[in-house]
Amino acid sequence: MAANRPEVIRDKSDMRAWSRSEKYRGKTLALVPTMGFLHQGHLSLIREAKSISDVIVVSIYVNPGQFAPSEDLATYPSDFHGDLRKLAEAGGVDAVFCPKNLYESGIERKKMDKDPSFGEEKAVSCLEKEEGGDGHETWIRVERLEKGLCGKSRPVFFRGVATIVAKLFNIVEPDIAVFGKKDYQQWRIICRMVRDIDFAVKIIGSEIVREADGLAMSSRNVHLSPEEREKALSINRSLTKAKSAALHGQNSSQEINDLIVQEICDAGGRIDYVEIVEQESLVPVENINCPVVICVAVWFGNVRLIDNIEIKM
Ligand code: AMP
């Protein structure tokens, strides 16, 4: 087991030096960015990375820059030692990059939560520059792609994601980075960022891993009560039915949408959105006659779940 234990690197200059020495030795390097609390979905990204790269770095960093103050940063699950054990058992990971903080400075989360003047409008991120202070102020925005789907209800989410991924690319300097299609919009945004600003990184989109009963694996599933978890199965059930209906000729997005909303609401879910969009541009379609992806975000209790299904027409 010890032989499989990855090297744990906490400092960004140590990480960069480690990567450079591997690349100097002619190795290709793949990065799998995560926020930890690892599950089989993460492990499948690692396997995919291993199949195409010599050296694998997994980053574990819960990025405060992608959580608005009203969101669940404080309760985001973590189990660092469990993660290291899982990685050692799975094998194939050479280094784990787990920085304490990747932002030079910024408002402390707690301080912001307590400040009543820090309203929704100002709450663009928990790392916004302090008045006259020295906070983080450089953000990457993938302007059109970040606006729809999850971007509507999480307005600062994707700029936080794009920025932290850019930072990780600059620190780890990978040749390849693997992302899950579970976070479909995120994957497309990263692909576009890489293209638009010329990162020399190949992006791989890896298929969604589900529990045996169809629930998409997610670190947040741990917050579902057994009843909520049961009800949440309506998400994948409705997406599967919708795909089958579309493949059998029902091509009105509105009708397919209604079918999904009905099934999820009947199970007690609160819909954030259900949208049928073109796969690359993420532009909504009226009729399903090109490759689309149906994306959903749904609340069960206090847990917001996302899922999607691709339909290749
Ligand atoms: P997270 O730790 O949730 O930020 O996820 C880290 C990476 O794992 C992202 O690229 C996710 O899309 C991916 N991922 C999370 N859950 C799954 C899943 N069920 N199947 C495939 N990839 C996943």
**How many angstroms separate the CA atoms of 140 and 197, rounded?**
10
Same CATH topology for 7-206 and 219-311: the answer is no
* DSSP designation for 119: -
Question: Ligand 1 pocket: which of 32, 45, 157 to mutate (most atoms <8 Å of CB)?
Answer: 45
What pLDDT is stored for residue 70 in this prediction? 85
| Per-residue pLDDT at 105 | 56
pLDDT of residue 123: 38
For residue 120, the model assigns a pLDDT of 36
Return the structure tokens found at 249: 């000729």
The predicted structure's pLDDT at residue 131: 53
At 4 the pLDDT is 83
Q: Go through 161-195 and write b for each residue having 16 or more CB atoms within 10 A of its CB, e for each that does not.
A: bbbbbbbbbebbbbbbbbbbbbbbbbbbbbbbbbe
Instruction: Give the residue ranges of the chain where pLDDT is below 70.
Output: 1-3, 105-134
Q: For residue 59, what are the β-bridge partners?
A: 33, 97
Please work out whether the CB of residue 62 comes within 6 Å of at least one atom of ligand 1: no
Question: What per-residue confidence (pLDDT) applies to 109?
Answer: 44
Amino acid code (one letter) for 121:
E
The whole-number pLDDT of residue 279 equals 98
| pLDDT value for 191 | 98
CB-CB contact of 172 with 13 (8 Å): no
Whose C-alpha lies nearest to ligand 1, atom 22?
180
57 φ, ψ (degrees, to nearest 5): -115, 130
154 lines ligand 1 (CB under 6 A): no
Closest CA to ligand 1's atom 10: 179
Report the half-sphere exposure of 69 (CA within 13 A, side-chain side).
21
Domain 219-311 top-level CATH class? alpha beta
**Cα torsion angle, 81, 86, 91, 97, sign:** negative
Q: Domain ranges in the chain?
A: 7-206, 219-311
pLDDT, position 72: 86
Ligand 1 centroid to residue 131 C-alpha, Å: 35
In CATH, which superfamily holds the domain spanning 7-206?
A: HUPs (3.40.50.620)
Residues involved in catalysis: 42
DSSP 66: G
Q: How confident is the model at residue 243, as a pLDDT? A: 98
Please give the distance, rounded to the nearest whole angstrom, from the Cα atom of residue 263 to the centre of ligand 1: 25
Residue 137, pLDDT score: 87
What's the pLDDT at 60? 98
